A and B are shown apart, each in its own frame.
Chain A
Amino acid sequence: MSDSQSHLRLRDLSVYYGDLQVLKKITLDIPDRKITAIIGPSGCGKTTLLKTMNRLLDHLDEVRIEGEVLVDGEDIYGPKIEVTHIRKKMGLLSQKPQVLPMSIYDNVAYGPRIHGVRNRKRLDFIVRNNLAMAGLWEEVKDRLHQPASRLSVGQQQRLCLARGLAVEPEIILGDEPTSALDPQSSQHVERRLVELKKDYTVIVVTHILRQARRIADYIVFLYLGELVEHGPAQEILSNPRDPRTRAYMTGEIS
């Protein structure tokens, strides 16, 4: 494993739902410590691609996965891999924020507790630190023991971010993380993601082209399960080579 290789690499990745092939032989290196946006029309396999990265598709019936997803050079679909270990390396932000049925504090402490942190002071520190990183600390510091479900949707999404960060992942996966949020909350989350790329590799699925333009350093364009084009954001956005990418950008296909 050399330094020039990226953290997360896909090799000939294909995914089938039953007989339907939803991802077709995708080979891709995700750049470290940058924001990669996966874009493409709905139903093109964006979310599927994201979920293969932390093996969340394992829980669905009739899913078949071929090829490799290499994290630090290790195939996460390999036989000896422990799936919880893989998932711990990746924080996930889902489309609709899904807080756990417990207090704000316990939501953030959930991951660390599972992974063996018992010390109360240490947990306090982790909770505070990660809530601050997600930009939520100031808003909730006086009501940490209230139910997380009472937060607004925008706050809940930032709580989910804090919760994901608390297990010290290397990669942050976002599945249209702002689609359920109001414009202001969206902006808030976007700003966090941009700040976080200093330390984390961020991958975001989005159907909002303007969002990709705002935050992405690297763009991956999928169409009907096929990796059509990928490259630095500026290049792809200003000068797409493939006619399908161009059509998508101009709104002809969506």
Chain B
Amino acid sequence: MNRRHLVESAWKALMIASTALVVGCLLLIVGTVIWKGLPALNLAMITQIPKGGYYLGKEGGILNAIVGSLYLALGATALAFVLSLPVVIFLNVYCAKRSRLAALTRFSFDVLWGIPSIVYGAFGFVIMVYLRMRASLLAGIITVALVELPIMSRAIDEVFRMVPRELKEASYSLGATRLETSLKVLLRQCLPGILTGVLVALGRGIGDAASVLFTAGFTDRIPTSLGQPAATLPLAIFFQLGTPFREVQQRAYASAAILTILILAISLLVRLLGRRYAKHIIR
């Protein structure tokens, strides 16, 4: 075997090894969660709110955190989407290709992406104190939306940048305005990428504990309005793992399994919906 073939196989082996490592880690995490969580998972966990002494091993469930997380993540993702889309359209359709403003905006999103979410939590908390707000679902939604915003914007932005110039020109040359082109052509063309961006952001939002610690608070009850505090699954996991009781720790794994399944279900649902519209996309 000559040198070039040797190099080829060596690199290929390396790639397979790292792929195996990554997939293996993922499977290990999911496996652990399911393995340890399944025995503790029962109907009560997903249909009841914690009763007195739940964190000491007594009866109850984490319905409060499931509902709280869903409210919070869906609310935050919707808010982040409503804010992201105009930004992305502005950057890609209205700004010139080499616009300084666009470059600066993208750069700041990249920086914001890397900021730990506890900082967003602290930021949200400071604002809340200033406004004399209590920890509430609303405060949590706004804070998590801020966490999601740079992720979603940049993910969607990258897809919009891939749209061939000729497609925009085709629409313009029929007398369409930039707005019409954006809403009627680009949105359709970018739909799968938009969905991916939304899902990535949703995943980050629903799994984040630090940003909601101070802002959404924690409660055993299911919130009935935006002004009430809300429990979340990541915090429920954190609190249950933190107890010295084995059976409660096991429930933490069960909660993690629920969170994983929830994300999986939402992703599949959104993808399924998206497929109906994706058939028109120009490749």
Contacts and interface: CB of A to CB of B under 8 A. Distances in A.
Interface string B171-182: 111111100100
A110 B172 contact: no
B167 to A, nearest CB: 5
Contact of A61 (B96, B168, B180): B96
A87 B168 CA distance: 13
Interface residues of B, number: 27
B46 to A, nearest CB: 40
B3 interface: no
Contact of A96 (B96, B166, B176): B166
A167 B166 contact: no
A114 B176 contact: yes
A114 B175 contact: yes
A85 B280 contact: no
A98 B281 CA distance: 12
Interface string B248-283: 000000000000000000000000000000011111
B169 A94 contact: yes
Contact of A56 (B172, B176, B188): B172
A96 B97 CA distance: 22
B179 to A, nearest CB: 11
A196 B231 CA distance: 68
A100 interface: yes
B173 A56 contact: yes
B280 A110 contact: no
Contacts of B168: 59
B226 interface: no
B188 A101 contact: yes
Contacts of B279: 147
A102 interface: yes
B280 A94 contact: no
Contacts of A111: 174-176
Interface string A23-38: 0000000000000000
A126 to B, nearest CB: 13
Given A61-B97, A147-B280, A149-B280, A98 B167 contact: yes
Contacts of A88: 174-175
Interface size class of A (residues with CB under 8 A): 20 to 34
A142 B8 CA distance: 51
A170 to B, nearest CB: 13
Interface in A100-141: 100-103, 110-111, 114-115
A233 interface: no
B95 to A, nearest CB: 10
A102 B188 CA distance: 8
Interface string B140-171: 00000000000000000000000011111111
A99 to B, nearest CB: 6
Given A100-B185, A101-B189, A148 B169 contact: no
A164 B173 contact: yes
A114 B167 contact: no
Interface string A161-172: 001100100000
Most A Cβ at <10 Å: residue of B173, B280, B281: B173
Most A Cβ at <10 Å: residue of B96, B174, B177, B283: B174
Contact of B166 (A90, A98, A115): A98
B280 A148 contact: yes
A87 B166 contact: no
A163 B188 contact: no
B169 A56 contact: yes
Interface of B: 96-98, 164-177, 180, 184-185, 188-189, 279-283
Question: 10 tightest A-B contacts by CB?
Answer: A88-B175, A92-B173, A111-B174, A98-B170, A101-B280, A101-B189, A84-B175, A98-B166, A101-B188, A147-B280
10 contacts: A61-B97, A96-B166, A98-B169, A98-B170, A101-B280, A102-B280, A110-B176, A114-B175, A149-B283, A160-B170
